[in-house]
Structure 1
Amino acid sequence: MQYLHTMVRVKDLDASLHFYCNLLGLEEISRKDSEKGRFTLVFLAAPDDRQRALDDRAPMVELTYNWDPEDYDGGRNFGHLAYRVDDLYALCDKLQAGGVTINRPPRDGHMAFVRSPDNISIELLQKGDALPPRAPWQDMENTGSW
């Protein structure tokens, strides 16, 4: 058995790609447009998994964009995606500067939670040992839910 991907339905493909690629740092591996099915599938992988994903050996995130408008409720019911990152504070700085709310700040230098434009919870975990607590993160309160 091999874990292949997690599919997330998105309402605005451009906003979602901006979040997942430009801000979070994932890379687009492939894209498929289906005229008959009226949808677009975009597969994304973490940079360190890029080559393995191209070789079909790494898990990916599949963004499914249905061309006809639909409402998707219950993003929190999905659970969350989790990514190990090289520098938790630097990524949270970048996300916050990009307009992303840090729902659970990285107070402990180990973990943070943010949400995608489609309200999907994303867990960010520091690679290796936790970073020493640092301002402004160490004193930040939670915002919303994750």
Structure 2
Amino acid sequence: MDFKFAHNNINVLDLDKSLRFYKEALGLVEVKRHVPEDGSFILVYLGDGRTPHMLELTWLRDRTEPYNLGENEFHIAFETENFDEAYKKHKEMGCICYENQDMGIYFINDPDNYWVEILPAGHM
């Protein structure tokens, strides 16, 4: 058997707010969308335009409370060639939630408080 990554999923409370955040903060754009006839949920797949990996946002019509993320010990990560510029943008957006200067990385949080790690290119 041979497996490859397809996408990661997170559930969001306000789909439009999340779409705006991921576009502004990370340049992610909608690649595809699935809406069932009954409208009970919406799946939106976001892509970076360079890799096949996608972030799936799931919106549930009947969900009204914020998601309980527990200790929020999981995250997704993005690397960028323009680390200093990204840092400045995220600082201006007010979404930096944690910095680790010793490791040369920082984290931003999205509207649902999911953490996103920002790495300089080649950091891995």
Q: TM-score range by the shorter chain?
A: 0.7 to 0.9
**1:87 Cα deviation after fit:** 1.2
State the percentage of identical aligned residues.
34
Structure 2 portions without partners, runs of 5+: none
AA partner of residue 85 (structure 1): T
Whichever structure has more strand as a proportion of its residues is 2
**1:110 Cα deviation after fit:** 3.0
**1:21 Cα deviation after fit:** 1.1
Using the alignment, how far apart are the partners of 1:5 and 1:46 within structure 2?
12
Structure 1 portions without partners, runs of 5+: 50-57, 130-146
The correspondence for 1:7, drawn from 6, 9, 23, is 9
Matched, 1:18 2:20: yes
* Deviates most, 10-19 or 21-30: 21-30
Corresponding residue number in structure 1 for 2:37: 35
How does 1:67-106 map onto structure 2 within 5 Å? 67-71=61-65, 72-74=67-69, 76-77=71-72, 79-100=74-95, 102-105=96-99
Corresponding residue number in structure 2 for 1:115: 109
* Deviates most, 79-88 or 66-75: 66-75
- The answer to whether the Cα contact below 8 Å between 1:76 and 1:119 also exists between their aligned partners in 2 is no
Number of residues of Structure 1 aligned to a counterpart in Structure 2 = 120
Using the alignment, how far apart are the partners of 1:75 and 1:8 within structure 2?
14
What is the Cα-based RMSD across aligned positions, in Å? 2.0
